[in-house]
Each structure stands twice: as structure tokens, then as C-alpha cells.
Structure 1
Amino acid sequence: MNDKISLDVALDIIGTLRMMKMKEITAEKDESKKDELYKELDMLSTEEEIANGLLQFEASDNVRLSVIDKINRLYAPILKAYYAAK
């Protein structure tokens, strides 16, 4: 089985998760919980920028590939489970 995904698919997955996180923030009433959700949103936004090649690091290709791998192995199953439950 090939575990590689295209950049477009990876960006679509993380973009969808960011939108879901924004909806979660909007619905949340507890301010301390909102702060945690904003941190999670910030992390997703940073990872999206890294995957898209917008943030440069010393070993940028390795960092970028690592984030894309995280999207594939962690975020894709989360999104798949979310839609399967609907």
C-alpha cells in the first residue's frame, strides 16, 4: 500500500480541519477552552504554511515532508472517522 498523498490532498485535509476547528471555537462558550482551541488552530495554520512551503527552515524539505506525513498518518484518519460518524 502506498502511504504517500499529494500536496493538494494534504492541504485539503488540513484546511478542512482548520475550518472545523473554527466552527468549534465559535460554538464554545468557555473562554479557557476557547484559548486551547485557538492554540490548536494556530498549530494547524502553521502546519498548513509549512506543508505549502510558505515557512522556510534550515532543513525545510525534511520539515515539510514530516508535516505532510503527519497530515497523512494522523489528520486524515481523524477526518475520515468524523465523516464516517455522520
Structure 2
Amino acid sequence: MIEGNILSLPALIGGIIVRCRNLSKQIRDGDDRLHERVNRIRDEYVRRDDLHQHIGRIDQGLKDMRDESRQENAQINRRLDDLLAKLSGS
């Protein structure tokens, strides 16, 4: 009886070692997948302050274009008014 227990003890310890190694490998694989996902998100992420600065530049550019368009329309209207005045005065 003792001999059977002595023979089964190394098998039990070996099984525990194998299970620990498998568990460690599973944890490492899970950590690697998690790190890969975190790195991908970090690489694709846009910082809020960069985004706000970019949107601010776009807004300013649109405002400038709108102002230029209004000035050009005012000049065109003035020229058309001058042309109509000359034509009606003739």
C-alpha cells in the first residue's frame, strides 16, 4: 500500500507541474492578446486636445472663407449696381 502511494506521488507532482505550466501559458497568451489590443487602440486613438485644435482650425478656415465670400458678393453687388446705374442713366 505504501509502495503504491510512493509511486503515485511523483505522478501527482508531475501532473501539478504540467497543469501549472499550462495555466502559465494560457495567462501569458491572454496577456499578449490584451497587450496587442491595448497597443492597437493606443495607436488608433486621437487625443482630445489634438482633435479640438484640428476642429478649431477647420472652424477658423470656414469662417475665413465665409467672410471672403461675403466680401466678394458685396463687391459683385456694387459692380452690378454701378452697371445698372450706367445703363439706366444712358
Tell me the TM-score normalised to structure 1 length: 0.30
| Higher relative contact order (CA closer than 8 Å, sequence separation 6+) | 1
Q: Which has the higher helix share?
A: 2
Tell me the TM-score normalised to structure 2 length: 0.28
